[in-house]
Chains A and B, each alone.
Chain A
């Protein structure tokens, strides 16, 4: 019998190509006929475009076309159609594309860009959330109420900067507060920041003579690119082919559609020739969308013995100049606003707000990094007020079977998992019992902080995936599905699932590593930690279809009934007597009788999946169902604080997550560690800094800081396995979650070590110094 495939460390299919530099990414495919598009970026955060003079640029050597917003009267956006692909009439953020030069070479394109003369009339900019929401604010979108919407459940407020408002009204607040002996409240702030994927965003477009549009792009959503291009430019969907090879990191930043529009418009301007547009690092930071900023106000009430009775929170999400998917993250913040705790009375308002900052799109955690920070910080404050161990408070309130979520969705062990098992395991791993605060003789202070996490997905209610299996004459299988390989080894995971189901070697499963929308079955988007769940289910269904067909043709070959047969080791055999069998290779392209007659033909199997029972949230109460399940976990951070210099060192960080079932253990651990590392980035350094004129100051990696290899603490990752019914082998989503609790656990540890409260990220040594200084004064 073949050994199990699931739960066994399996090398990624693309591993050797990646480590030897052979792997190719989208912008590596430059053909001799490729033209280059280069963008001119707005130097202002908010201004009227009075005049654009492109005459000189057009005369510049190698320049074939210059396009401006005037040439592209379109409005785009996955929720609100509020964003012109190239700024039109006005610019709304620093770095917004204002014109695009198409040239033979990138050098010539840059030269052309430098020759464009734009006259602006500067407007006052909305630089802070509080200025965006004040009475009679500067309006960033005067036409907000006249825009069309791609989503139905979005509620913009005319003549304001508020593009959406999500409400959670659960239980009875009056009762909740009356039952609360202790109340704690705080305000929190997390700045905008960037994804910093290693591969900057890039897209190429070509329009063939028959009208076929070929888009080669680095994306998490090739099918969304196809649909939205079709919708915006009125191109029949079947005439658009989107191709995506390996993607060099995404973190949500490639779930948006931006450069695809520009590449298409650029190609259109030069008669359909192939045009590539690729961001420099600076453009990727300032022109393409980043991570949202959040201001949160949270008030929580509990009894003296630590039972949480009421939660009120107000979130303002700084979405920047355009909506993109940001309102969905504001919804996601609201719908999981309680954290993984049972709270019966909840009142939450989550507002999506326009500012003149760069616009934002999905980012690892989809808003949950913000809500987790706020709820987990307030829980530590509550524990302090109750003189209770923070881990005990969490254990006491941990969400369990028969509780309900903030959107009044029913919690089961299957759909949520076992948080307390995670906390208990975590406490052992981080040696919680030794004490959370230890002062060393040399004056250094060691402190530990904890945070729990939970997250569900937030897909359209009808998000779907497919998988197709074809066969080779040696009996091996080809697997094709629509999730792009953005780094977490999903192509490998799917091969493992199929191998497990067929009881055959993973090396005999050949996965189509790219996505080509013309030949790959659809997958909604490679986001939301949903690939294993959605595509995995489609693959398992395709495997069932394959097995059924194999048995049918096997029954002919073995002269028996299909139900008498089983498959394994690339054979179809009699259950009662495995010595009677036929090899896959002898049937997958048809079965040939001894006399030469043949039946059946190539076996092609298919499977699909669609989300079940999801509903949008009710406008007034927030009642509804965003995702089919949650993943819960607990994280801890240990730091060493130097009270003399106000500096700190990251010593250790641990995560225990209930993942249902680990499919590829080392890859899963690596994914969680990667998330933890990004969490430390947000906790200790990553932020967009704007000057008083709303101009982004951190536009390059000289000033925008990310965690470097070697700066990370010791990482410990472990799992709890409470299977999720209906998920492939019980496996839950885990790809994003490592990031979620780290900023809060870190801030909890820092607050404990310094005896100050840190409610704003990131926390630099200077932040601590200033806090100490304030207290002194």
Chain B
């Protein structure tokens, strides 16, 4: 049960949605864009989240798009994780989302919700970061298509009232060799102890991490070390662990030390797997 009242809107167009956001915010209302609702419903029931109004974007056609148009794969922000996995246009992304929550919840969680929500892991962003995706963002003042890597720093840097409409992935990335390894504290279905996605762009490995710090990230420095031919595998791992760009998580899910150990083991696994494929 959600113990407070809130307004619910379900617009048919992006324009309508962003205008609603603007007009409701101007009335000093706390407004959120709403996808599958798994976070809002589960957190609002304990007052851990609050909104005066929610704007459900699931009826907006652009947000439900999931197909190629020429060389671009368009994925709407309201596409559910189940749809991503079932339709399987981007195998690495499919693999990653299949390990987020359980199947029932995957039917609800949307790509946009997973990327923008308050839960820190946002694992579905990993393939998108390393595939150099673009995102389409829109608010009342206009629409922009930008590189995800430019607007994602610990979180998606949205302007006031901006909603994530779509993600665009170039076809070539969809077909690159990939690896994804997720480890949890102990269970098949859980938040990651560590989740790592990697994609091989010709001779270069792109890699992104979730569960290592309080936010998912892709770091140039780490990729440089990983792709440095002169370094032995063991040295690469040692160097990467030294160059983690933030505080390593240390909580009930796992200690800092253990996450470091797991990072080394996973990088080793990924490097070996890419090698085997060659």
Contact = CB atoms under 8 A, between A and B. Distances in A.
Interface stretch (A107-115, A230-238, A393-401, A719-727): A107-115
B232 interface: no
B8 interface: no
A698 interface: yes
Given A698-B252, A766-B185, A766-B254, A705 B3 contact: no
Contact of B1 (A107, A114, A703): A107
Given A114-B47, A280-B45, A698-B252, A107 B4 contact: yes
B265 interface: yes
B186 A685 contact: yes
Interface in A93-127: 106-107, 110-111, 114
Contacts of B190: 705
Interface string B252-277: 10110110011001000000000000
Nearest to B268: A644
Contact of A106 (B3, B47, B102, B257): B3
A764 interface: yes
A670 interface: no
B188 interface: yes
Contacts of B185: 685, 705, 764-766
A280 B3 CA distance: 12
Contacts of A282: 46
Contacts of A107: 1, 3-4
Nearest to A106: B1
Interface in B158-205: 183, 185-191
A110 B4 CA distance: 9
A645 to B, nearest CB: 6
Size bracket, chain A contacts: 20 to 34
A764 B102 CA distance: 21
A689 interface: yes
A697 interface: yes
Interface string A485-501: 00000000000000000
B186 A764 contact: yes
Contacts of A645: 183, 262, 265
Nearest to A706: B187
Contacts of B102: 708
A689 B185 CA distance: 14
Contacts of B258: 766, 769-770
Interface residues of B, number: 23
A708 B186 contact: no
A766 B47 contact: no
A705 B185 CA distance: 10
A495 B99 CA distance: 45
Given A110-B3, A282-B46, A769-B258, A703 B252 contact: yes
B187 A705 contact: yes
B2 to A, nearest CB: 8
A198 to B, nearest CB: 15
Nearest to B47: A114
A703 B119 CA distance: 13
Contacts of A685: 185-187
Interface in B1-33: 1, 3-4
A192 B190 CA distance: 22
B114 to A, nearest CB: 15
Given A106-B3, A110-B3, A705-B187, A644 B252 contact: no
A53 interface: no
A705 B189 CA distance: 10
Interface in B44-58: 45-47
A267 to B, nearest CB: 21
Contacts of A702: 191
Contact of B188 (A114, A710, A765): A710
Nearest to B48: A700
Nearest to A764: B186
Contacts of B3: 106-107, 110-111
A704 to B, nearest CB: 10
Interface string A15-57: 0000000000000000000000000000000000000000000
A711 B252 CA distance: 21
Contact of B187 (A106, A644, A711, A766): A711
A684 interface: yes
Contacts of B4: 107, 111
Contacts of B183: 645, 647
A106 B4 CA distance: 10
Contacts of A647: 183
Q: Which of A711, A769, A770 has the most CB of B within 10 A?
A: A769
A705 B253 CA distance: 11
16 contacts: A107-B3, A114-B47, A280-B45, A280-B46, A645-B183, A645-B265, A647-B183, A705-B186, A708-B102, A708-B189, A710-B188, A711-B187, A764-B185, A765-B186, A766-B255, A766-B258
Interface of B: 1, 3-4, 45-47, 102, 183, 185-191, 252, 254-255, 257-258, 261-262, 265
CB-CB nearest 9 A-B residue pairs = A110-B3, A766-B258, A107-B3, A764-B186, A689-B252, A685-B186, A645-B265, A697-B252, A766-B254
Interface of A: 106-107, 110-111, 114, 280, 282, 644-645, 647, 684-685, 689, 697-698, 702-703, 705, 708, 710-711, 764-766, 769-770, 773
Given A698-B252, A711-B188, A773-B257, 13 more contacts: A107-B1, A107-B3, A107-B4, A280-B46, A685-B185, A685-B186, A705-B186, A708-B189, A710-B188, A711-B187, A765-B185, A766-B185, A770-B258
